[in-house]
Amino acid sequence: MQGPTYAAPRPDAILLDFEGERQDIAVYETAGGYAMARSQAGRPFEEIVQELKDSGLRGRGGAGFPTGLKVSFIGKGSRYLVVNADESEPGTFKDRELMLRNPHALVEGCVILCNAIGAGAAYIYIRGEYATEALVLDAAVAQARQRGYVGATLPGAPGAVEVYVHRGAGAYICGEETALLSSLNGERGQPTAKPPFPAVSGAWASPTLLNNVETVATVPFILAMGCKTYSELRTEQTTGTRLMSLSGNVARPGNYELPVTATFGDLIDGCGGGVPAGRSLKCFIPGGSSAPILMPDQLDVQIAVETCAAAGTMAGSGAVIVIDDRTCMVQLALRVADFYRHESCGKCTPCREGTRWMVELLKKVESGQAQRAEIDLLLELCDRMEGKCLCPLGDACAMPVRSYLQHFRAEFDAHVEQGGCPGGAASPFGALYPELKRSLPLVPA
């Protein structure tokens, strides 16, 4: 399916709109880099907060919380900045490319925010699997230190800023902010109750500003172009550009930076070339695997926070996964639920037991051993998981499964009626779950 081509070039792309990479600090400086770290170092906290509020920037980690407001909450005392580089939501790989190709944008964002809130150190908590990205960041920090942006006091700044790259051990739950902070503090990476919020008690029980990589890397650009210019690119409640990770059954997967006014059709068809020839779009996941799906007639939904919410889903982490007509929704549900089962930290019972039970039920449906009542039981299980835990990991498992059932109930029923997956041998799924393959009916591909 080939849709309209997204109008290129895009003068509104700011984070990745260049050829090659800018790992070398000289290249970044030539492009105007670190000018804001220098010029904003002595700017009062209130002014930077106002600038960020006026820019309309919303956090890019998933919840879309207004960044200026979050910065304004920071408590008194010794403070820290923590950058969430855990990037574990399935389908999301934008922070990775940003850190690889434009690492100094992140380091500069750290220096600016630390000076604004009076923090002496920033910790970039990066997922364990991102070994190369961690090395690239280490090198970028070393270069910034040589140039006096890190480890020295910039003129007018409240003090010197240190930037540490801290590698996690590769647990999805450590992307959740309180679990991340527990892990950073040397404790088991599990969520804790809020309040206290990180702005009051975070890293080493001190006031902590915690933001996503893309959020922090956007700050120098906002200050450089001015909040007014940045906020002109807007929907009603969302501004600027977003890095969108596009994957799944699409001709040209990859990261694309789009204005928030763009639609999912612009991304999937215009940038991604649509679903490969001979197939058709069945549905798409708009904001990471935990987001409820959207249907082909919703390609005109804009990628902004409030437009996604109005369409019954969430913009989430900006990860769009395209699903074509060959996909079995029960298999997809099982694959997604099994991810969350594996990643549940086990602290809260509804999540620990609910995700496991969800997987068992879906295996029964997929292998044709379920009763029809057990499909209703799946929905009941969703009710018992959503909003019942310290963090939304259980919700992340229940929300997509509920949406697959809502839109493709007949497909689930067909598994019961036909005693197995109607897709049968056409699917490569058996390789992932060999115990199910045996019970699948043999349908020629």
Ligand X SMILES: Cc1cc2nc3c(=O)[nH]c(=O)nc-3n(C[C@H](O)[C@H](O)[C@H](O)COP(=O)(O)O)c2cc1C
Chain residues that interact with ligand X, rule: CB under 6 A: 59-63, 65, 70, 84, 86-89, 173, 175-177, 210-212, 215, 391-393, 396
CB nearer to ligand X: pick between 173 and 267: 173
CB nearer to ligand X: pick between 231 and 439: 231
Q: Is 10 exposed, middle or buried (0-12, 13-18, 19+ CB in 10 A)?
A: middle
CB nearer to ligand X: pick between 200 and 425: 200
Minimum CB separation from ligand X for residue 180, in Å?
7
CB nearer to ligand X: pick between 60 and 402: 60
CB nearer to ligand X: pick between 71 and 436: 71
Minimum CB separation from ligand X for residue 320, in Å?
16
Minimum CB separation from ligand X for residue 295, in Å?
25
Angle at 50 between CA 48 and CA 55, to 5 degrees: 95
Minimum CB separation from ligand X for residue 24, in Å?
26
Minimum CB separation from ligand X for residue 326, in Å?
29
Which distant-in-sequence residues (6+ apart) come within 8 Å of 214 by Cβ? Answer: 15, 60, 61, 94, 95, 98, 242, 243, 318
Minimum CB separation from ligand X for residue 169, in Å?
14
CB nearer to ligand X: pick between 212 and 302: 212
